[in-house]
Structure 1
């Protein structure tokens, strides 16, 4: 049994992941009342689930209509998704924000190295102009923990951003520019950079500002505009406390406490083999106090090396505030 939720961050093998996942499943089947009812309606007996592939995944839409919580501790922060006027948004009630903080800090370090080696610049106007964004929570903390005096946000002041990027390039400062897709495109329409060492991380989403683009076309424009070899991406959402990262080509890898499985689009309770396209199921063990087993409305496939790609969304899915690009 898990002694401390933060034990998940010590996972270093598939066997350890499976052990933790089954322990957390049994815990949530007992303590998350919404998940418990969902499992019972499927006629699944928790004690009879012996492998990760047998665990039922809660449809992500439940975060719009129910409080998904497995802890008796008070809620520390509630993250909410963005949406158009009148749209029902998701809410993720987090009883231990330190789990989220350790998750993104440890994951960033795994894929990119120590946070304090970087200057973080954020071009996230749509997110800044609302409350409850888990992305803004993360970026705020990365900016603070970078301890770099020039880390910060840029709304529409592209002149200042271009000047600072040019300065950081001259200083050979490791830099991450994280931005919503339409804002990155707006920037390169005004300015062209050649900053090969820059990490440009797009978070997806046109926010109704531009027409949607296929990933290849988008990344081609951004690589030319910033003068970088590849565009990075993060795969995360309001309902998760972990992110997968792509260092280019739209190929994502998970940290050790997160796993993606693919379900059959015609039989949502069945998983399909690697290489086949289907619905993305996410196991996020950092969600120990809500629900760690989520059936998203995204389509994807798993590659032979365990990485995965996001290929679009189900046709009947709501348009998310952080909607993904269709290939």
Structure 2
């Protein structure tokens, strides 16, 4: 199997595994940093026959190295958010259309057609800096929705409130994508009664508020917007795919993405479902960078394949991607 075959048409576990192994071998040969990392592990690439045997690159490498497995020109560089003086991660993307395909197809899988929604964005911390992959995605969703009221609301909460009232009156399916602290700021000012609204929090207080456990946060947001559940997106600068939660902090991946859980004491070993450990992500859309990333998030996998994000490793940098400490 060639590693550039259409990964977005995967519809079985066997297909996923075959694609993952093909991409692993491609990146183990063509990714200089990943190749060196594998060399230091003294791993024979040809002996890797199962995805559970694939080594995952620590996500911190994106702060110190150019993680590439392609010679193609870089089309866009996504950078992580962070406080002043914090080293940012950089994700060099050589084929940005893969990112566009990934989030468009994932959205269609979880929510249906983009054109069926009005998108409202309350993302001040992301909007006020350059290099945000989230802003790149939201810009595209707003444009493709072709809805006249789709757009950003920086700090103009009055306009956002008026838009929500109007959209509810028109029975317009609407998604409000917001950074956590901004959503909390908004509901402290306004009483919203819009049960059909999809509120999607992207995580992170950005140093604006004290971190909260997910249950407390979602309880406040469900009451504030009078919605039955809070949706969430699990993505990060270093990935080209996202998982989504339609409520209760239970995330599911699109068919070209998979989460595995590693032992916190032995990062090269995986642990069984139901146990807490470090989140490893396989993102097959990230073919020209690295598709096998060991994040600094803690989580667990449920028996149905869904997963939960339970916090961060101690001393890990705080940044906004559903990094709610519990």
TM-score, length-scaled by structure 2: 0.99
CA shift for structure 1 position 323: 5.7
Q: CA deviation at 1:4?
A: 3.4
CA distance in 1: counterparts of 2:229 and 2:166, whole angstroms: 21
Length, aligned pairs only: 326
Assess, with a 3 A threshold, how the Cα gap between structure 1 residues 321 and 85 changes in structure 2: closer, same or farther.
farther
Residue 3 of structure 1, CA deviation: 6.4
Counterparts of 2:298 and 2:124 in 1: how far apart (Å)?
Answer: 27
Deviations 1:179-219 (A, max 9, x none): 00000000000001111110000000111111111100000
Q: 1:3 to 1:91 in 2, by over 3 A?
A: closer
Map 1:124-139; keep pairs closer than 5 Å.
124-139=123-138
Distance 1:141 1:321 in 2: 20
Structure 2: how far apart are the matches of 1:224 and 1:320?
26
Within a 5 Å distance, the mapping from 1:11-50 to structure 2 comes to: 11-50=10-49
Aligned to 1:2: 2
Three-state SS of the structure 1 residue aligned to 2:285 is: helix
CA contact (8 A) 1:18 1:52 kept: yes
Measured in 2, the distance between the counterparts of 1:15 and 1:227 equals: 42
Q: Could you give the per-residue CA deviations for residues 237-291 of structure 1, whole angstroms, max 9, x where no partner exists? A: 0000000000000000000000000000000000000000000000000000000
Q: How does 1:184-195 map to 2 (within 5 A)?
A: 184-195=183-194
Q: 1:326 deviation in Å?
A: 1.5
- Residue aligning to 2:198: 199
**SS in structure 1 of the partner of residue 167 of structure 2:** helix
| Matching residue of 1:298 | 297
- In the aligned structure 2, how far is the partner of 1:267 from the partner of 1:165? 48
- 1-side partners of 2:14 and 2:27: how far apart? 20
What residue is the counterpart of 2:230 in the other structure?
Answer: 231
Aligned equivalents of 1:94 and 1:228: distance in 2? 37
Q: Aligned to 2:319, what secondary structure does the other structure show? A: coil
Which residues of structure 2 form unaligned runs of 5+? none
- Equivalent position of 2:149 in the other structure: 150
Contact kept, 8 Å, 2:206 with 2:320, in 1: the verdict is yes
Q: Give, in whole Å, the separation in 2 of the partners of 1:192 and 1:282.
A: 38
Corresponding position of 2:76 = 77
Alpha-carbon distance, 1:321 to partner? 4.1
Please tell me whether the aligned partners of residues 207 and 322 of structure 1 are also in contact (alpha carbons under 8 angstroms): no
Deviations 1:66-121 (A, max 9, x none): 00001110000000001111110100000000000000000000000000000000
- Asked if the contact 1:176/1:200 (under 8 Å) is kept, the reply is yes
SS of corresponding position for 1:287: coil
Question: What TM-score, normalized by structure 1, do the two folds share?
Answer: 0.99
Answer yes or no: is 1:312 the counterpart of 2:311: yes
Asked if 1 retains the 8 angstrom alpha-carbon contact of 2:252 and 2:305, the reply is yes
* Alpha-carbon separation, structure 1, partners of 2:116 and 2:20: 33
Does residue 175 of structure 1 match 2:207? Answer: no
For the 8 Å contact 2:3–2:19, the answer to whether it is kept is no
Distance, in Å, in 2 between the alignment partners of 1:58 and 1:126 is 28
Distance in structure 2 (CA, Å) of the matches to 1:138 and 1:126: 15
| Cα distance in structure 1, aligned partners of 2:80 and 2:210 | 21
